[in-house]
């Protein structure tokens, strides 16, 4: 049972904690940020960045070895069935350096690029999502990543060689009362009286690799700090060695998918952490976690690309082979539509994922919005692609691969893939939280310009000052949103994709205008209009995918000397434009208020008549008797 006795942070406190943990300032360019401000900066993504790992001997030879390990050692069906990635798989991965891909060579790692890492994850993910998640839990968010970013030389010298050798690590932020909202972290660390240790107490939930990790990065509350006469919550990050007395796994969690991962509830009882294991600064733990996630978030999009490619492979073979109603099923219009959508989506997902990854290697861009959009877009689209593959496979999509094999059918793992994929829209920032995060970053220029006008708790004086400051910013910015050449024959260098670039050009200004008009209309109330913000963000994500897929197609067509990529990008953009049109319509015309009010009534039990005829109530409660159907007249009351 969740312990609800802890005093949970109020909405305002939670917002303050999130704001404090935000990375502020924009020192490097971001395509997405510009786009939300109405400026289509294709020059930032065209030419589409090249893959620094392509043709690199060390990368290519590593990927060959990795493929061999997957073939020889990784039995994905057995891992799923047995609920375990066996030690033999870990050893095989260790033997080729696959658990230290991005750790610099000087510390014993392979020292490969982010691009190489993501190519590896994409390949593993297509084969076995549990193995990919274990690798990613260690390398994307586990100890090596924050250690590289924030560790001292001494910490790196001490730990990176061990991590590179394959001592697994984990990232422990979530707790029973701190899921999406980290302000409720209740795990505490107190400094010992001699200052040599921190003493850690608390419990972490759903810690991937936790039960088998040798090292963990643990976010814990440290004593509050007084700022402007108020006590401020402080969260700090610690590297915890799991062989320290007091660290225990109290429960191994089991899930619908990713059944091979070792994920657990970790308990810390008076765990003495050496003072030198504080990572970065006291009180910076949440910022560290969020900055780690900014890069770590790039892994899931590549996982989704791997899985979506596999789904496409399965679907196209089956659609061309399965004969029903006088033709192969792929000749039937509806199934053909699914295959085309899947193909175009795979290409868009690849373009979206790789941009952020290559920008990390380049080092000259701010990727926080691009990574968040990639996480949002690829996890949602990846789910659609695998769900479509499930439809193409019909009943065989629902049957386990082992059952298919036992009765002599081709053991395609669609049932497992569907189970594995579902959680990706939740972990590392759920779709709803990504909407809020992207909206906050996209609105940052407005928050800076309009400041107090957008804050519910600001004083009248602060609002008046903000009004004049904002007036100056908007007097310069807003008129530009009505000027442009988005309908004019321009962007000729894009050939057949020029029409989409012109569309993006005028639509980025339309999006910026829509954001501004929403701000005027809702002012400080805008942050509560989440569904409105979600539509704005989804429009931005669709536009971002259109822009990256066009840039990628232009580069791919040039390199390949044929137009296949252009046709793929064109189809993708056509669908995206329709979806964007619908989203704009629903910004103007929607049932948001009515549906919000109805939801509150439903939660108050005012519509429990809908549940008539079944046994209701939480599992474990005394069975509530099945409700008698209400006379239909009651429904109108
Ligand atoms: C398989 C698996 C592996 C995981 N691995 C790790 C790990 O290694 N380390 C770790 O620290 N954590 C891990 N997690 C935890 C994961 O990151 C959380 O599940 C996630 O952050 C969401 O938290 P929650 O499940 O408590 O959802 P809640 O925060 O309780 O949210 C419930 C629902 O409400 C929505 N919601 C919440 N707040 C808002 C809001 N303000 N506005 C709109 N909607 C909102 C959410 O989107 C969600 O739909 C893992 C979880 C799973 C299942």
Encode pLDDT of 438-484 as tens digits: 999 988 888 777 777 767 667 777 777 777 777 777 777 877 887 77
Question: What count of Cα atoms within 13 Å lies in the side-chain half-sphere of residue 214?
Answer: 10
Paired sense of beta strands 169-172 and 188-191, if any:
unpaired
For the ranges 142-146, 284-288, 441-445, the lowest mean pLDDT is seen at 441-445
- DSSP letter at 10 equals P
- pLDDT at position 23: 83
Other C-beta atoms within 10 Å of 238: how many? 24
Ligand 1 pocket, residue 140 CB under 6 Å: no
Token pair for 241: 């060695």
- Flag whether pLDDT at 632 surpasses 60: no
- Flag whether pLDDT at 256 surpasses 50: yes
Q: Is residue 153 part of a domain?
A: no
How far apart, in whole angstroms, are the C-alpha atoms of residue 203 and residue 217? Answer: 13
- DSSP letter at 562 equals S
Nearest atom within ligand 1 for CA of residue 208 = 8
Ligand 1 pocket, residue 173 CB under 6 Å: yes
How far apart, in whole angstroms, are the C-alpha atoms of residue 176 and residue 495? Answer: 54
Q: Is residue 198 part of a domain?
A: yes
- pLDDT at position 631: 46
Token pair for 167: 């001592």
- Flag whether pLDDT at 1 surpasses 70: no
> For residue range 184-228, what is the model confidence (pLDDT) as tens digits?
999 999 999 999 999 999 999 999 999 999 999 999 999 998 888
The CATH number of residue 187's host domain is 2.40.110.10
**Percentage of residues in the chain with pLDDT exceeding 70?**
95
Q: Is residue 141 part of a domain?
A: no
- pLDDT at position 624: 59
Q: Is residue 50 part of a domain?
A: no
Count of structural domains within the chain: 1
CA of residue 297 to ligand 1 center, whole Å: 14
- pLDDT at position 117: 98
Cβ atoms of 100 and 145 within 8 Å: the answer is: no
Nearest atom within ligand 1 for CA of residue 170 = 8
Nearest atom within ligand 1 for CA of residue 174 = 11
Q: Is residue 327 part of a domain?
A: no
Ligand 1 pocket, residue 423 CB under 6 Å: yes
- DSSP letter at 178 equals B
Ligand 1 pocket, residue 208 CB under 6 Å: yes
- pLDDT at position 485: 65
Could you tell which of 136, 140, 170, 174 is best to mutate to test the pocket of ligand 1, judged by most ligand atoms within 8 Å of the CB?
Answer: 174
Nearest CA to ligand 1 atom 5: 208
Long-range contacts of 558-566 (CB under 8 A, 24+ apart): 563/496, 565/347, 566/495, 566/496, 566/497
Helix, strand, coil percentages for the chain (3-state, nearest 5) = 60, 10, 30
| Residue 88 pLDDT class (50, 70, 90 cuts) | very high
Angle between helices 414-421 and 368-393 (to 10 degrees): 150
Q: Is residue 263 part of a domain?
A: yes
Q: Is residue 185 part of a domain?
A: yes
Angle between helices 564-588 and 333-362 (to 10 degrees): 90
> For residue range 163-175, what is the model confidence (pLDDT) as tens digits?
999 999 999 999 9
Could you tell which of 430, 436, 526 is best to mutate to test the pocket of ligand 1, judged by most ligand atoms within 8 Å of the CB?
Answer: 430
**Percentage of residues in the chain with pLDDT exceeding 90?**
79
Could you tell which of 170, 205, 206, 261 is best to mutate to test the pocket of ligand 1, judged by most ligand atoms within 8 Å of the CB?
Answer: 206
Active site residues: 428
Q: Which residues span the domain enclosing 184?
A: 169-286
CA of residue 371 to ligand 1 center, whole Å: 18
Q: Is residue 88 part of a domain?
A: no
């Amino acid at each position: 049972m969740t312990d609800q006795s802890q005093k949970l942070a109020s909405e305002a406190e939670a917002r303050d904690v999130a704001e404090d943990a935000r990375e502020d300032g924009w020192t490097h360019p971001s395509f997405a940020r510009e786009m939300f401000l109405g400026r289509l900066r294709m020059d930032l993504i065209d030419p589409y960045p090249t893959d620094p790992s392509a043709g690199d001997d060390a990368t290519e030879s590593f990927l060959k070895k990795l493929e061999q390990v997957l073939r020889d050692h990784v039995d994905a069906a057995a891992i799923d069935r047995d609920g375990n990635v066996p030690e033999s798989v870990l050893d095989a991965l260790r033997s080729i350096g696959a658990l230290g891909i991005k750790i610099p060579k000087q510390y014993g790692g392979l020292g490969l690029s982010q691009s190489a890492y993501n190519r590896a994850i994409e390949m593993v993910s297509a084969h076995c999502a549990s193995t990919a998640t274990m690798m990613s839990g260690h390398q994307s968010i586990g100890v090596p990543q924050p250690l590289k970013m924030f560790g001292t030389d001494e910490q790196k010298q001490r730990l990176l060689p061990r991590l590179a050798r394959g001592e697994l690590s984990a990232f422990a932020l979530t707790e029973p009362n701190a899921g999406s909202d980290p302000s409720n972290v209740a795990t505490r660390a107190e400094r010992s009286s001699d200052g040599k240790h921190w003493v850690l107490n608390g419990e972490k939930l759903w810690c991937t690799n936790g039960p088998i990790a040798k090292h963990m990065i643990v976010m814990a509350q440290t004593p509050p700090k007084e700022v402007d006469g108020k006590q401020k919550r402080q969260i700090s990050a610690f590297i915890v060695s799991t062989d320290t007395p007091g660290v225990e796994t109290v429960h191994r969690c089991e899930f619908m998918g990713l059944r091979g991962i070792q994920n657990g509830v970790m308990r810390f009882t008076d765990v003495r952490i050496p003072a030198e294991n504080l990572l970065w600064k006291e009180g910076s733990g949440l910022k560290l976690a969020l900055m780690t996630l900014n890069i770590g978030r790039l892994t899931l999009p590549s996982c989704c690309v791997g899985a979506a490619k596999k789904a496409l492979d399965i679907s196209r073979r089956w659609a061309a082979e399965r004969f029903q109603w006088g033709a192969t099923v792929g000749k039937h219009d509806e199934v053909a539509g699914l295959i085309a959508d899947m193909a175009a989506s795979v290409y868009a997902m690849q373009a979206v994922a790789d941009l952020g990854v290559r920008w990390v290697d380049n080092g000259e861009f701010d990727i926080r919005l691009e990574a968040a959009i990639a996480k949002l877009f690829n996890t949602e689209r990846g789910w659609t692609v695998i769900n479509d593959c499930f439809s193409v496979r019909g009943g065989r999509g629902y049957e386990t691969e082992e059952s298919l094999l036992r009765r002599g059918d081709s053991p395609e793992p669609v049932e497992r893939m569907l189970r594995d994929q579902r959680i990706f829209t939740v972990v590392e920032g759920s779709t709803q939280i990504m909407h809020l995060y992207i909206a906050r970053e996209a609105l940052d220029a407005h928050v800076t310009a309009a400041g107090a006008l957008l804050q519910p708790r600001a004083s009248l004086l602060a609002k008046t000052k903000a009004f004049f400051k904002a007036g100056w910013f908007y007097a310069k910015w807003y008129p530009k949103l009505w000027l442009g050449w988005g309908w004019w024959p321009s962007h000729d260098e894009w050939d057949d994709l020029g029409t989409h670039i012109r569309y993006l050009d005028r639509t980025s200004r339309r999006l910026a205008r829509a954001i501004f008009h929403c701000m005027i209309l809702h002012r400080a109330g805008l942050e509560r209009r989440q569904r409105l913000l979600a539509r704005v963000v989804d429009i931005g994500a669709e536009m971002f995918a259109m822009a990256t897929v066009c840039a990628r197609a232009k580069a791919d067509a040039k390199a390949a000397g044929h137009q296949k990529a252009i046709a793929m990008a064109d189809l993708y953009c056509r669908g995206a434009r329709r979806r964007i049109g619908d989203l704009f319509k629903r910004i103007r015309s929607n049932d948001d208020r009515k549906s919000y009010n109805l939801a509150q009534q439903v939660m108050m039990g005012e519509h429990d008549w809908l549940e008539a005829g079944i046994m209701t109530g939480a599992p474990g409660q005394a069975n509530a008797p099945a409700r008698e159907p209400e006379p239909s007249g009651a429904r109108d009351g």
